């Protein structure tokens, strides 16, 4: 049993100069066999292992990660959490996640710094206005908090926005989800890792999957850089590298992996106390607790695994940011990076069984997977444990690309992909 | 960001071009005779290779012509460029 993090433990450890904190998770050697192996030690993978152990009583689990946990897209995203999606299936999925977020720090005994500071989506043309109003109505029918704001209300909620009518893309209105916000991305991975480790899950880092062994139509195990691991159930949560793993199993996925960039500025005093997203001009901005502006850009349109994008994408985003927030014109950017996102043709994820018995995929989150981390892990764990999807992820099966029953969130999701 | 050698215009910045995805996907001759599985395979399923990929590009802000590129998607190094209708290089 791990020691609980509390004010008492903080004070106690202060007396020993914080040198005796126990390790949050172990560094085990891989065993020969597991009941289930999760490929990918990001937030989604660790959450999957956590819920498999907690809710489905499968304890003999390994999470294999080729690098370090949370070092992929979990540590590279802009940490925005919201559930204001248009379609019923998506609303159900993302709001399930949002509800878990609201109590996650308590559940994990780990401060994920979930901050419900609200997310505002701006409208810049007449079609945006119509789309956002429609989405607001759809959200409210699904029990998701959403309000439509006119230009004055946008200005009142976030005073630094330039609402002048004569800019290139004037602000005509926006939507606001107050329950939405941000969280500390690393803490999510670490919190789930600590929780899973406590229940006996082996978190194996620096362990890259090199092959998937099959006998007939079922899986037998995985070949890794640290030897063969036998298992009957493999849950793949490899984000941008999902197709690479799928190819090892002789499976094809409807995914394209593309670079998505983000950047942060030098830290400044509090200036923006919410998250503002703008679909049409593709600029997102929020401020981290350290004071950095966190800015999200768009995806490049070519397939790449190089974790770096094109300069013109960043330039376009910053043009939009400067027009909307003239006050940022002298900010200097500190860091810029790229992550590889796996995008489905309908911009919705896949949380599904496959044609191979014992092989499950959780992928296709594209540009917006972070917000879904707890819900995704919970539903994927359900799918793996029962060999059947939960009703909330039934629509996100891989077979929808054959049946044509797509969950088309392209554009509708308040974000251009 | 990289430079693409357009077979019609020469070397230009990648931002002048638009990517068209995987190359050499042949449109089925009789779409009405395909099963749903075959249609999904043609329409949606992609190799999405990490490594050397054959792909299509169009010089949007230039000659507006389509052509093929062989590029390593793990580091964005371009190995070859060839015109539409030409056979892909084997080496």
pLDDT one-digit tens code per residue, A235-259? 999 999 999 999 999 999 999 999 9
* Residue A311 at interface with chain B, using a CB cutoff of 8 Å: yes
Closest residue in B to A316 (Cα) is B15
Q: What is the mean pLDDT of chain A?
A: 95
Question: Beta strand pairing status for A147-150 and B18-22?
Answer: unpaired
With cut-offs at 50, 70 and 90, classify the pLDDT of residue A411: low
- Please write the tens of the pLDDT for every residue from B21-49: 999 999 999 999 999 999 999 999 999 99
- Please write the tens of the pLDDT for every residue from B76-89: 999 999 999 999 99
Tell me whether residues A401 and B47 touch, CB distance under 8 A. no
* Residue A241 at interface with chain B, using a CB cutoff of 8 Å: yes
Helix (H) or strand (E) holding A245: helix A242-248
- Please write the tens of the pLDDT for every residue from A79-114: 999 999 999 999 999 999 999 999 999 999 999 999
- Please write the tens of the pLDDT for every residue from A8-59: 999 999 999 999 999 999 999 999 999 999 999 999 999 999 999 999 999 8
B15 CB neighbours in chain A (<8 A) are: 310-312
Q: What is the mean pLDDT of chain B?
A: 95
With cut-offs at 50, 70 and 90, classify the pLDDT of residue A282: confident
Averaged pLDDT for residues A145-174: 96
Averaged pLDDT for residues A212-228: 96
Tell me whether residues A247 and B36 touch, CB distance under 8 A. no
Closest residue in B to A314 (Cα) is B1
3-state DSSP helix/strand/coil percent for chain B, to nearest 5? 15, 40, 45
ipTM of the complex: 0.95
* Residue A261 at interface with chain B, using a CB cutoff of 8 Å: no
* Residue A404 at interface with chain B, using a CB cutoff of 8 Å: yes
Question: Beta strand pairing status for A36-39 and A234-236?
Answer: parallel
Tell me whether residues B48 and A243 touch, CB distance under 8 A. yes
Its pTM stands at 0.95
Rounded Cα distance, A146 and A136, in Å: 6
Rounded Cα distance, A144 and A137, in Å: 10
- pLDDT at position A410, please? 77
Contact criterion met (CB below 8 Å) for A70 and A41: yes
Domains of chain B with CATH codes: 3-83 (3.30.2270.10)
Percent of chain A with pLDDT over 90: 94
Tell me whether residues A252 and B37 touch, CB distance under 8 A. no
Tell me whether residues A305 and B45 touch, CB distance under 8 A. no
Cα-Cα-Cα-Cα dihedral sign, residues A66, A260, A120, A135? negative
Residue B46 is nearest to which of A254, A300, A403, comparing CB atoms?
A254
Residue A417: pLDDT over 50: no
Closest residue in A to B14 (Cα) is A310
Task: Determine phi and psi for A296, rounding to 5 degrees.
Answer: -105, 135
Averaged pLDDT for residues A164-193: 96
> Using only C-alpha atoms, what is the Rg of chain A?
21
* Residue A255 at interface with chain B, using a CB cutoff of 8 Å: yes
Closest residue in B to A247 (Cα) is B47
Residue B19 is nearest to which of A243, A302, A312, comparing CB atoms?
A302
- pLDDT at position A122, please? 96
With cut-offs at 50, 70 and 90, classify the pLDDT of residue A280: confident
Percent of chain B with pLDDT over 70: 99
Rounded Cα distance, A340 and A66, in Å: 15
Residue A413: pLDDT over 60: no
Averaged pLDDT for residues A155-163: 97
């Amino acid at each position: 049993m791990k020691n609980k993090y509390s004010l008492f433990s903080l004070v106690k450890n202060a007396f020993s100069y914080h040198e005796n904190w126990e390790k949050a998770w172990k560094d085990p050697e891989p065993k020969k066999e597991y009941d289930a192996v999760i490929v990918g030690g990001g937030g989604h993978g660790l959450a999957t292992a956590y819920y498999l152990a907690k809710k489905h009583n499968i304890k003999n689990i390994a999470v294999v990660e080729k690098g370090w946990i949370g070092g992929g897209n979990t540590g590279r995203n802009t940490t925005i959490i919201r559930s204001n999606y248009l379609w019923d299936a998506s609303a159900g999925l993302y709001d399930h996640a949002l509800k878990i977020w609201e109590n996650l720090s308590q559940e994990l005994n780990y401060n994920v710094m979930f901050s419900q500071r609200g997310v505002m989506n701006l409208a810049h043309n007449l079609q945006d206005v119509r789309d956002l109003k429609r989405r607001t109505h759809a959200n409210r029918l699904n029990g998701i908090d959403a309000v439509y704001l006119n230009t004055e209300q946008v200005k009142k909620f976030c005073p630094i926005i330039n609402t002048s009518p004569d800019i290139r893309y004037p602000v005509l209105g926006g939507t606001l989800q107050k329950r939405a916000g941000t969280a500390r991305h690393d803490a999510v991975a670490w919190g789930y890792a600590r929780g899973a480790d406590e229940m006996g899950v082996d978190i194996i880092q620096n362990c890259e999957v090199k092959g998937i062994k099959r006998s007939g139509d079922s899986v037998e195990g995985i070949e890794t850089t640290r030897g063969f691991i036998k298992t009957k159930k493999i849950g793949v949560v490899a984000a941008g590298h999902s197709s690479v793993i799928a190819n090892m199993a002789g499976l094809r996925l409807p995914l394209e992996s593309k670079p998505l960039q983000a950047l942060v500025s030098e830290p400044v005093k509090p200036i923006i106390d919410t998250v503002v997203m703008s679909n049409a001009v593709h600029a997102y901005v929020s401020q981290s607790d350290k004071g950095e502006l966190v800015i999200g850009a768009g995806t490049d349109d070519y397939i790449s695994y190089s974790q770096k994008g094109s300069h013109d994408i960043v330039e376009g985003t910053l043009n939009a940011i400067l027009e909307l927030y003239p006050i940022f014109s002298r900010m200097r950017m500190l860091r810029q990076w790229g992550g590889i996102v796996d995008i489905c043709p309908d911009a919705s994820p896949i949380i599904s069984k496959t044609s191979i018995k014992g092989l499950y995929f959780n992928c296709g989150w594209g540009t917006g997977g972070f917000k879904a981390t707890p819900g995704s892990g919970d539903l994927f764990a359900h799918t793996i444990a029962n060999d059947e999807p939960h009703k909330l992820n039934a629509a996100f099966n891989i077979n929808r690309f054959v049946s044509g029953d797509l969950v088309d969130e392209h554009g509708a999701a308040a974000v251009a992909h | 960001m990289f430079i693409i050698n357009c077979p019609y215009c020469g070397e230009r910045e990648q931002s002048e071009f638009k990517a068209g995805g995987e190359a050499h996907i042949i449109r089925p001759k009789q779409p009405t005779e395909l099963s749903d599985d075959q249609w999904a395979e043609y329409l949606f399923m992609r190799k999405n290779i990490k490594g050397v990929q054959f792909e299509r590009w169009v010089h949007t802000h230039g000659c507006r012509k389509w052509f093929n590129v062989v590029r390593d998607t793990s580091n964005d190094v371009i190995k070859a460029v060839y015109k539409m209708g030409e056979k892909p290089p084997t080496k």
